[in-house]
């Protein structure tokens, strides 16, 4: 499977930042995957819950797709315990 077609990523969260503060904030974070590759990710759906549940250094699995800027737009996420 080509990296661009992939819809699931697993890794460690780095650099969480609120990009746009609205009723549903736009949050950007970096996901360091197993191969030390770094994915730039955006989440707007469930972003307040994301900010509550996820901290830098947490291991998570995300589901989403890439946008035109090659960023991963997250639809769902799961925090590994």
pTM of the model: 0.85
b/e 62-78 (16+ beta carbons within 10 angstroms → b): bebebeeeeebebeebe
Q: How far apart are CA 79 and CA 5, in angstroms?
A: 23
Segment 32-71, tens digit of pLDDT: 998 779 999 999 999 999 999 999 999 999 999 999 999 9
Q: Average pLDDT, stretch 5-26? A: 90
Bridge partners for 33 per DSSP: 11
CA angle 22, 31, 53 (to 5 degrees): 55
Would the pLDDT of 80 be above 80?
yes
Would the pLDDT of 23 be above 50?
yes
What is the token pair recorded at 29? 């974070």
Domains of the chain: 3-79 (2.40.50.1010)
């Amino acid at each position: 499977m080509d990296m661009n077609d992939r819809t699931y990523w697993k890794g460690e969260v780095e650099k969480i930042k609120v990009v746009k503060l609205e009723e549903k904030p736009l949050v950007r974070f970096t996901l360091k995957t197993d191969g030390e590759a770094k994915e730039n990710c955006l989440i707007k759906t469930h972003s307040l819950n994301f900010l509550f549940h996820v901290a830098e250094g947490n291991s998570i699995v995300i589901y989403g797709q890439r946008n035109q800027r090659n960023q991963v737009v997250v639809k769902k996420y799961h925090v590994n315990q």
